[in-house]
Amino acid sequence: MVPDFPVAFYAVATFAVLITGVAKGAFGQGSGGIAVPLMAMFIAPNEAAGIMLPILCAMDLFSVHAYRGKWSRAHLAILLPGALVGIALGAIAFGALPVNGVRLLLGLISVTFALNQWFRFTERIAARLAAERGRAFIPGDTSFASARAARLDVLGDLVAGHLDTARLAELIEAGPPEGLPDIRTEVRPCFAS
């Protein structure tokens, strides 16, 4: 059964989900957090969050897979307490505040994030804290996705400029030339101690 949402909601929800996908996939930050506040203008915020949560979790599964084995226990120890406090406060706010109170809170959070992106408050705080400790903080201005795309472009240029594609096609079609040495392997039993 299709929920009884306003017609305008479907257009806004489609736009919000697309923006979130593009923002998380291409830019990694910023406009990806706009989906729930946009959708909350037409439906209850908890319903908007319920629609977006599975989508965001699915996107994050791909991120977790991409970074498997490359995470830092020290960074996780720093980030996890704040994340748990934020999750607890969000759960309390969703349960204790009326629908319009949650909308107001979402609006305040969205405006705060937008102002932070615009005025770069957290970068200034990080730079000051680093300077107090005799270090430098130099924020990057390139997202991971655009850096990855640039590296793939370089790789494509190298392949196009230096790979003998005719020879590669011949190798694929005809197989390796006769007389090359073979690599033999054997399977040995493994005994764990």
pLDDT at 26: 61
- Percent of the chain whose predicted confidence (pLDDT) is above 70: 90
Residues 6+ positions from 160 with CB-CB distance below 8 Å:
none
Report, as an integer, the average pLDDT of 107-124.
Answer: 86
d(CA 177, CA 179): 7
Report, as an integer, the average pLDDT of 121-128.
Answer: 89
Report, as an integer, the average pLDDT of 164-175.
Answer: 84
Instruction: Give this prediction's pTM.
Output: 0.57
pLDDT at 96: 92
Least confident range of 79-93, 94-108, 122-136, 179-193? 179-193
Write down the mean pLDDT value for the chain.
Answer: 83
Dihedral over alpha carbons 13, 64, 62, 58 (to 10 degrees): -40
Report, as an integer, the average pLDDT of 28-41.
Answer: 75
Residues 6+ positions from 145 with CB-CB distance below 8 Å:
25, 26, 27, 28
d(CA 30, CA 20): 9
pLDDT at 82: 94
